[in-house]
């Protein structure tokens, strides 16, 4: 019961984030709804595709996409309110991310994925929707950039699930993995914990020189 509530809350929050990006980019109502559905269900659909679940569950059943469309309409109508609720949205999003990371890994194990693949597909379930949203909206993917940690908690939650499931009970893995991922994400937001970036100034600089050199060669 509770996992259904968390699952739908996660989809709804991801859909709302897709709708907000769609509104901000000046999409029309179809574009806003489509981006909301892609963001809300994209991670699960890609996971199902990689597992050979055809057609993916989120498309076969009506509730997931319908929820995304309803959320996109509500977000468009109450845009001002949604923006004011940023804190609540971030907390719900952390809950959903943690649950997707472990439930995605659990579904993968059930469909014959190796432990290694299950951990990867848990991560895919948690972050692929956000990446698709940003790629379609022509933004650099937020979860890859130097923002407060988002993907690292998903990685940890998914790996924890696999380790606990390997030893014993699946449900315990979901509970432990989800909780750790969600708490770590909330801590990252609160204390602005970030992963370091690479030596981009060095590369960007050298890269520019190499481009100029190549252009003058041609």
Residues numbered 173 to 192 that lie near its own copies (CB under 8 A) are 192
Minimal distance in Å, beta carbon 167 to its own copies?
Answer: 19
**Binders in 43-82 for its own copies, by CB under 8 A:** 45, 49-52, 54-56, 59-62, 65, 75-76, 79-80
Question: Which member of 14, 143, 162, 181 binds its own copies (CB under 8 A)?
Answer: 143
122 is an interface residue for its own copies by CB under 8 A? no
The DSSP annotation for 46-58 comes to HHHHHHT-SS-HH
Question: Which member of 70, 74, 137, 163 binds its own copies (CB under 8 A)?
Answer: 137
200 is an interface residue for its own copies by CB under 8 A? yes
Question: Which member of 12, 67, 68, 117 binds its own copies (CB under 8 A)?
Answer: 117
Question: Which member of 11, 68, 131, 188 binds its own copies (CB under 8 A)?
Answer: 131
207 is an interface residue for its own copies by CB under 8 A? yes
Give the closest residue to 82 by CA, choosing from 20, 147, 155: 20
Range in contact with its own copies (rule: CB under 8 A) among 10-18, 95-103, 176-184, 194-202: 194-202
Question: Which member of 121, 126, 180, 188 binds its own copies (CB under 8 A)?
Answer: 121
Give the closest residue to 8 by CA, choosing from 40, 32, 54, 35: 40
Minimal distance in Å, beta carbon 2 to its own copies?
Answer: 26
Residues 6+ apart with CB under 8 A from 56: 41, 44, 45, 48, 49
Give the closest residue to 127 by CA, choosing from 90, 168, 98: 98
How far apart are alpha carbons 32 and 136 in whole angstroms?
Answer: 12
How far apart are alpha carbons 178 and 96 in whole angstroms?
Answer: 9
Distances from the Cα of 165 to the Cαs of 6, 86, 94, 121, 126, in angstroms? 20, 34, 22, 15, 18
Q: Which residue's CB is nearer to its own copies, number 59 or number 91?
A: 59
């Amino acid at each position: 019961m509770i996992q259904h509530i968390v699952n739908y809350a996660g989809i709804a929050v991801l859909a709302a984030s897709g709708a907000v990006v769609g509104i901000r980019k000046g999409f029309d109502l179809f574009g806003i709804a489509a981006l909301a559905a892609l963001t809300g269900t994209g991670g699960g659909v890609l996971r199902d595709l990689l597992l050979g679940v055809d057609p993916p569950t989120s498309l076969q059943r009506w509730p997931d996409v319908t929820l995304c469309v309803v959320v996109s309409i509500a977000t468009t109508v109450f845009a001002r309110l949604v923006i004011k609720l940023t804190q609540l949205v971030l907390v719900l999003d952390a809950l959903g991310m943690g649950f997707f990371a472990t439930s995605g890994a659990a579904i993968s194990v059930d469909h014959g994925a190796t432990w290694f693949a299950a951990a990867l597909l848990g991560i895919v379930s948690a972050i692929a929707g956000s990446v698709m949203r940003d790629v379609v909206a022509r933004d650099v993917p937020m979860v890859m950039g130097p923002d407060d940690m988002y993907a690292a908690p998903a990685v940890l939650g998914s790996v924890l699930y696999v380790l606990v499931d390997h030893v014993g009970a699946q449900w315990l893995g979901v509970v432990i993995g989800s909780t750790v991922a969600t708490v770590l994400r909330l801590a990252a937001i609160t204390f602005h914990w970030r992963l370091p970036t690479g030596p981009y100034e060095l590369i960007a600089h050298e890269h520019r020189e190499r481009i100029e050199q190549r252009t003058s060669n041609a």
